[in-house]
């Protein structure tokens, strides 16, 4: 009886530990009509090969006046990539076509919409700080967060 209880206890402990060990390779970030992201810092687990980001626009305004996207770049390149994105315009999702500074980006969405994109985690380097931002005109200095590669 004692041996059976010990075996069950070990199995239960293993079952409880499994979810905690699994890497969470996705996140949902919300943007609103006040030009704010609800999450300001993201740590991507090193164990992930692909990371999925979902942007949910919780506001009501249309994308023509309060559109949001997510553009991921190094922090060093963030301001220049955002400026070039604004120049690229709405047809290019406010991302300069072929911009090598941009690791990944989403399409621009309006109130009530959501969009999802993936990126290859091998593009991230340990010790490098990344920024995710909204490149819609006038949003990039307010709507941004920090992303880093975790352990």
| Residue range 70-123, pLDDT digits in tens | 999 999 999 999 999 999 999 999 999 999 999 999 999 999 999 999 999 999
Give the pLDDT band (50/70/90) at residue 16.
Answer: very low
CA distance 15 to 10: 9
The pLDDT of residue 118 is 98
The pLDDT of residue 21 is 41
pLDDT above 50: residue 10: no
User: Model pTM?
Assistant: 0.85
The pLDDT of residue 11 is 41
The pLDDT of residue 151 is 81
The pLDDT of residue 114 is 98
pLDDT greater at residue 95 or residue 1 = 95
pLDDT above 90: residue 20: no
Q: What percent of the chain has pLDDT over 90?
A: 84
The pLDDT of residue 75 is 98
Residue in 117, 77, 121, 119 with CA at minimum distance from that of residue 101: 77
The pLDDT of residue 1 is 46
The pLDDT of residue 128 is 96
């Amino acid at each position: 009886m004692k041996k059976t209880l010990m075996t069950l206890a070990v199995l239960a402990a293993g079952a409880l530990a499994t979810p905690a060990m699994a890497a969470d390779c996705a996140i949902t970030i919300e943007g609103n009509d006040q030009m704010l992201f609800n999450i300001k810092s993201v740590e991507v687990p090193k164990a992930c090969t692909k990371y999925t980001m979902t942007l949910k626009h919780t506001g009501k305004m249309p994308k023509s006046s309060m559109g949001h996207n997510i553009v991921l770049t190094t922090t060093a390149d963030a301001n220049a990539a955002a400026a070039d994105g604004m120049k690229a315009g709405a047809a290019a999702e406010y991302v300069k076509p072929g911009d090598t500074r941009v690791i990944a980006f989403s399409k621009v969405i309006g109130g009530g919409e959501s969009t999802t994109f993936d990126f290859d985690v091998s593009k991230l380097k340990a010790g490098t700080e990344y920024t995710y931002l909204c490149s819609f005109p006038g949003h990039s200095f307010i709507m941004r967060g920090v992303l880093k590669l975790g352990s």
